[in-house]
């Protein structure tokens, strides 16, 4: 799963959460701030603030950096579904304050209300921003280390070209650079244009009787990575398992049966470019 898919998943889960809260009226009292809470389930209000028929009610008291639930009544059809527990947590998250057991503060409490506190002393606010940062950090690490799509970043393509200068930006040097960065996940393949006439991209450029060839890499036996074609094609990465990439892969790389595995013959990039290879490594780690 790439980063964009992960972000969509997180947003979808938030949007699909069937239980939501919003704030009603509030009032200052000598014992604290009384805040009405409107609970919504499946986009319908199940509590209100004006005693509406058929709706329940919920009020909280905020005082001295704590929240106490003053009263809560959830309509019968929504009980025993764990709704109250989720609502308490959402309220704590929203205000960034703990919700404490009202009984410990001298308030009356129903038997049903007491079940809420059977296995806990309070609801602590979750640091949602930090949780999101952690999720995105993990996804970014996976995005950088386990998937190939950073090679569609023009800045990385430009850096590969930069560290190869003043030598020519030839495909064998590019494959060597990627092999250095990705290690054993990479296999290097090559083909002759003359022997692979289905590679129309190169036939159009060199002619079908050309003795020119092309080298490229495949990551994890799935992703073709080829920054050498980026300037003309607008991308470096092609997914062998994606039906939408089938035609363009055939157009550029022709018949897969004409590919030769040359991994064991690839150049050592560090030996080729001893003065600049570290710059590429550092850029790759921090991109």
Looking at per-residue confidence, does 127 or 243 come out higher?
A: 243
pTM flag (> 0.85): no
99: nearest Cα among 121, 84, 131, 118: 121
Task: Report which of residues 120 and 263 the model is more confident about.
Answer: 263
Whole-number average pLDDT of the chain: 85
Please tell me whether residue 92 adopts helix, strand or coil conformation. Answer: helix
Residues of the chain with pLDDT > 90, as a percent, come to 54
pLDDT reported for residue 240: 95
pLDDT digits (tens, 9 = 90+) for 90-117: 999 888 899 998 777 766 666 556 667 7
Residue 166, preceding peptide bond in cis (omega within 30° of 0): yes
Q: Where in the chain is the domain with CATH 3.40.630?
A: 3-129
- Residue 252 in 3-state DSSP? helix
- CB distance 252 to 233 below 8 Å: yes
Greatest extent of the chain over all pairs of C-alpha atoms, in Å = 92
How many residues are given for the chain? Answer: 287
pLDDT tens-digit series, residues 47-92: 998 788 889 999 999 999 999 888 888 888 888 888 888 899 899 9
User: For residues 144 and 162, which has the higher predicted lDDT (pLDDT)?
Assistant: 162
- The CATH code that applies to domain 3-129 is 3.40.630
Distance CA 29, CA 23 (A): 17
Q: What is the DSSP letter of 162?
A: H
Q: Distance (Å, rounded) from C-alpha 43 to C-alpha 58?
A: 17
Q: Are 250 and 224 in contact (CB under 8 A)?
A: no
User: In the block, which residue shows the tokens 């990479």?
Assistant: 186
d(CA 94, CA 72): 18
Q: What is the pLDDT of residues 216-275, one digit of tens each?
A: 999 999 999 999 999 999 999 999 999 999 999 999 999 999 999 999 999 899 999 999
Residue 239: Cβ within 10 Å count = 15
pLDDT exceeds 60 at position 184? yes
CA dist., res. 229 & res. 252, Å (int): 9
Please determine, for residue 37, whether its predicted confidence score (pLDDT) is greater than 70: yes
């Amino acid at each position: 799963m790439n980063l964009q898919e992960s972000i969509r998943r997180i947003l979808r889960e938030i949007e699909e959460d069937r239980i939501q809260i919003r704030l009603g009226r509030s009032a200052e009292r000598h014992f604290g701030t009384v805040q009405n809470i409107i609970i919504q389930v499946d986009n319908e209000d199940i509590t209100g603030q004006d005693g509406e028929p058929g709706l329940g009610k919920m009020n909280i008291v905020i005082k001295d950096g704590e929240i106490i639930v003053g009263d809560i009544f959830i309509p019968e059809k929504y009980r025993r579904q764990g709704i109250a527990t989720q609502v308490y947590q959402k309220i704590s998250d929203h205000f960034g304050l703990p919700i404490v057991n009202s009984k410990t503060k001298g308030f009356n409490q129903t038997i049903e209300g007491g079940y809420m506190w059977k296995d806990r002393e309070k609801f602590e606010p979750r640091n949602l921003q930090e949780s999101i940062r952690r999720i995105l950090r993990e996804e970014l690490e996976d995005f950088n280390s386990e998937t190939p799509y950073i090679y569609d970043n023009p800045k990385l393509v430009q850096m590969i070209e930069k560290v190869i200068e003043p030598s020519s930006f030839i495909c064998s040097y590019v494959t060597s650079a990627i092999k250095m960065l990705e290690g054993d996940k990479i296999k290097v393949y090559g083909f002759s244009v003359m022997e692979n006439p289905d590679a129309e991209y190169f036939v159009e450029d060199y002619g079908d009787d050309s003795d020119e060839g092309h080298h490229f890499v495949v990551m994890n036996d799935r992703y073709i990575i080829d920054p050498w074609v980026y300037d003309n094609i607008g991308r470096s990465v092609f997914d062998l398992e994606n039906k939408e990439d089938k035609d363009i892969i055939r157009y550029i790389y022709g018949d897969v049966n004409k590919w030769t595995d040359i991994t064991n013959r690839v150049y050592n990039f560090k030996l080729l470019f001893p003065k600049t290879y570290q710059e590429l490594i550092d850029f790759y780690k921090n991109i």
